[in-house]
C-alpha cells in the first residue's frame, strides 16, 4: 500500500475551503491528472471521473464515503487493479484553514509491479495539486 500525505495553511475561512473542496467538480481546476468530473447522482456523492496517472488511465466512479461538514471528506475509487481512498481534513486555525490531504492507494495484480514508480511520483504530484488548490481558493473573492 502507498500512503501519501500533504498539508498546507489556506488563508481563507474553513467554510469557504470546505465548500470549494466538497464540490468535486472543482478538481479539474487544481488537479492536473483529473481530466473530467461529472456528478452522476442528485446528492453529488458519486462522480464519473477520468484520471491520467501517467501509467494508469482511469475512467471510474469516485464515491464520497463520508462527510462531516467543515471537518472531513472521505472519498474512494475502485478500479481494475487498484483502489485509492482520499481523506481531506479541515482544521480551523484562527480565520484560516489548515488542510490535510491523505491518499491511500492499493495496487493489485500486475499493477503492483509499478508501485515504486507510482510512489515516487505521487507525493510530488499531490504537493503540486495542493499548491494549485491553495492558489485557487485564496484568489476567490466571496
Which pLDDT tens digit goes with each residue over 5-55? 999 999 999 999 999 999 999 999 999 889 999 999 999 999 999 988 666
**CATH no. for 2-139:** 3.30.530.20
- Beta bridge partner(s), residue 101: 6, 88
What order do you get walking across the sheet with 96-107 strand by strand?
A: 2-10, 96-107, 82-93, 72-79, 57-68, 46-52, 34-39
Q: Is the pTM of this model over 0.75?
A: yes
Per-residue pLDDT, 110: 66
| Predicted local confidence at residue 142, as pLDDT | 58
Residue 27 half-sphere exposure toward CB, CA atoms < 13 A:
21
Average pLDDT (47-70) is 88
Question: With bands split at pLDDT 50, 70 and 90, how would you rate the model's confidence at 57?
Answer: confident
Is 72 within 8 Å of 85 (Cβ atoms)? no
Eight-class DSSP state of 3: E
Q: What are residue 92's DSSP bridge partners? A: 97
Cell numbers representing residue 3 in the block = 500512503
Whether 64 has a pLDDT exceeding 70, the answer reads yes
In sequence order, the 6+-apart residues with CB closer than 8 A to the CB of 40 are: 46, 47, 48, 61
Position 114 pLDDT exceeds 70: no
- Report pLDDT for 81: 75
Query: Residue 140's pLDDT band (boundaries 50, 70, 90)?
Result: confident
Residue 83 to residue 40: CA distance in whole angstroms: 20
Please state, for a pLDDT cut of 90, what percent of the chain lies above it: 66
| 95: helix, strand or coil | coil
The pLDDT, as a whole number, for residue 122 is 80
Amino acid at each position: 500500500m502507498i500512503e501519501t500525505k500533504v498539508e498546507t495553511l489556506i488563508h481563507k475561512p474553513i467554510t469557504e475551503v470546505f465548500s470549494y473542496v466538497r464540490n468535486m467538480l472543482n478538481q479539474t481546476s487544481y488537479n492536473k491528472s483529473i481530466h473530467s468530473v461529472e456528478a452522476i447522482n442528485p446528492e453529488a456523492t458519486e462522480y464519473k471521473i477520468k484520471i491520467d496517472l501517467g501509467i494508469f488511465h482511469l475512467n471510474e466512479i469516485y464515491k464520497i464515503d463520508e462527510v462531516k461538514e467543515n471537518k472531513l471528506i472521505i472519498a474512494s475509487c475502485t478500479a481494475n487493479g487498484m483502489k485509492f481512498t482520499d481523506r481531506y481534513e479541515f482544521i480551523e486555525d484562527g480565520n484560516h484553514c489548515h488542510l490535510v490531504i491523505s491518499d491511500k492507494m492499493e495496487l493489485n495484480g500486475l499493477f503492483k509491479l509499478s508501485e515504486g514508480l507510482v510512489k515516487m511520483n505521487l507525493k510530488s504530484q499531490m504537493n503540486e495539486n495542493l499548491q494549485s488548490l491553495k492558489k485557487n481558493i485564496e484568489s476567490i473573492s466571496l
